[in-house]
Amino acid sequence: MEKRFVYADHSATTGVRPEVLEAMLPYLKEEYGNPSSIYNMARRAKEALEHAREQVQKAIGAKAATEIYFTGSGTEADNWALKGVFEAYAKKGDHIITTAVEHHAILHTCEYLEKVRGAKITYLPVDSEGFVRLDALEQAITPETILVSVIMANNEIGTINPIEEISRICHEKGVLLHVDAVQAVGNIPIDVQAMGIDLLSISGHKFNAPKGVGALYMRKGVNLPSFIHGGDQERKKRAATENIPGIVGMGKAIELAVAEMEEKNKKLIPMRDRLIREIEEKIPFAKLNGPRENRLPGHVNFSFEFIEGESLLLLLDMAGICASSGSACTSGSLDPSHVLMAIGLPHEIAHGSLRLTFGRENTEEDVDYIMEKLPGIVSRLREMSPLYEDYVNGNVTPIIMKK
């Protein structure tokens, strides 16, 4: 095959799609009114803002549009949920339960609450495929527990958690449930009412809206304090002049993503499963990370023994393939991914991990091209690896068994 450009890093970010850009453009050009002003042009901006709120409401099955609060990112929504509950429910308790495989937006906020604000945090273990251990959740809840925060779909290994069961456990004990659904929106169905979710975070740039816009769903009755102080925007809870173009883009993008989800997954699931199958057939000492069922549709993550993920990414990049090792946020750091550690991978093989995540514009030809390049790149890196040489000389036993 001729050299191609294959973007296979949709869990890191996605590009703004043409229909979304089209919807945004008027608000970047002539419709620049401030929704807080009173003239006609400003009212049109306000209408656009409220229309986007309804689009988000419908996409996640919220009861009312007033339960949606726009934020500047998924990270901000996560911060607001955790810090807000900690502050608002201080009288009830100071204990928050989360999991060992959350995004850093959750983990580092919990660390802050623990170290600076005196919160007690429990990090639930997960099983070898990354599913939250429900028995551990049940045991961890105490009378002081005010919040459980669980990732809906894991950004590194694609595991989809059983949110309904988690919510049942939380609500039996009267504890609020926050869900980081940033990787789930547009990829798997979300219904906050049916799933019993109290708070939910989303981020536009993971589903073809621009970067720097997100939202927090706050179920009516869960009354978190204001997160950004200033003007009266977002019902006085999140001050700052609204990012109208970004919000309009996110509204349009979430509507399209949900409408097209089924069709897209009909394409992505077979692509994902073929890539997994072919890697397992053609590359020795390769281990799939995360589950085969209840896995995000376009999500593949493998560990390749005897090689470094970073070198693999560089050679893939030279072949025109954009991928990631574990999580984009940790590249540049030498620590292996906390998610791969939590599912029990030894350091040696966690370092050789590769994440390929597909989205709406990928095709079967992209899988063909990846399979044309990847096996050769892995062999080349192994030929240069002293660890592999030790294995060839019979001095070490591989951790991942040969197929």
Ligand X SMILES: *Cc1c(COP(=O)(O)O)cnc(C)c1O
The dihedral sign for the CA sequence 194, 195, 201, 205: negative
Residues in a beta bridge with 99: 124
Q: Using the rule CB under 6 A, which residue among 55, 75, 98, 233 binds ligand X?
A: 75
Nearer to ligand X (CB atom), residue 215 or residue 378: 215
Instruction: Tell me phi and psi for residue 346, to 5 degrees.
Output: -65, 150
State in angstroms the smallest separation of the CB of 107 from ligand X: 10
Residue labelled with tokens 């977002």: 234
Q: Using the rule CB under 6 A, which residue among 96, 124, 132, 182 binds ligand X?
A: 182
3-state secondary structure of 347: helix
Measured CA to CA, the distance from residue 137 to residue 126 in angstroms comes to 10
State in angstroms the smallest separation of the CB of 328 from ligand X: 8
Nearer to ligand X (CB atom), residue 94 or residue 102: 102
Q: Is 183 in the site for ligand X (CB under 6 A)?
A: yes
Is residue 329 among the annotated active site residues? yes
CA 213-166-71 angle, 5° bins:
10
Q: Is 186 in the site for ligand X (CB under 6 A)?
A: no
Report how many residues bind ligand X under the rule CB under 6 A.
15
Nearer to ligand X (CB atom), residue 296 or residue 349: 296
Measured CA to CA, the distance from residue 318 to residue 119 in angstroms comes to 46
State in angstroms the smallest separation of the CB of 266 from ligand X: 24
Q: Is 83 in the site for ligand X (CB under 6 A)?
A: no
* Alpha-carbon distances of 18 from 15, 181, 215, 237, 258, rounded to whole Å: 9, 24, 22, 32, 16
Measured CA to CA, the distance from residue 362 to residue 302 in angstroms comes to 19
Stretch that binds ligand X, among 28-36, 67-75, 81-89, 343-351 (CB under 6 A): 67-75
> Nearest to residue 257, comparing CAs of 6, 19, 8?
19
Q: Is 103 in the site for ligand X (CB under 6 A)?
A: yes
User: Closest CB to ligand X belongs to which residue?
Assistant: 74
Q: Using the rule CB under 6 A, which residue among 20, 60, 151, 163 binds ligand X?
A: 151
Measured CA to CA, the distance from residue 84 to residue 361 in angstroms comes to 38
- 199-228 footprint of ligand X as x/- string (CB under 6 A): ----x-xx-------x--------------
Where on the chain is the footprint of ligand X (CB under 6 A)?
A: 73-75, 78, 103, 105, 151, 155, 180, 182-183, 203, 205-206, 214
Active site residues: 329
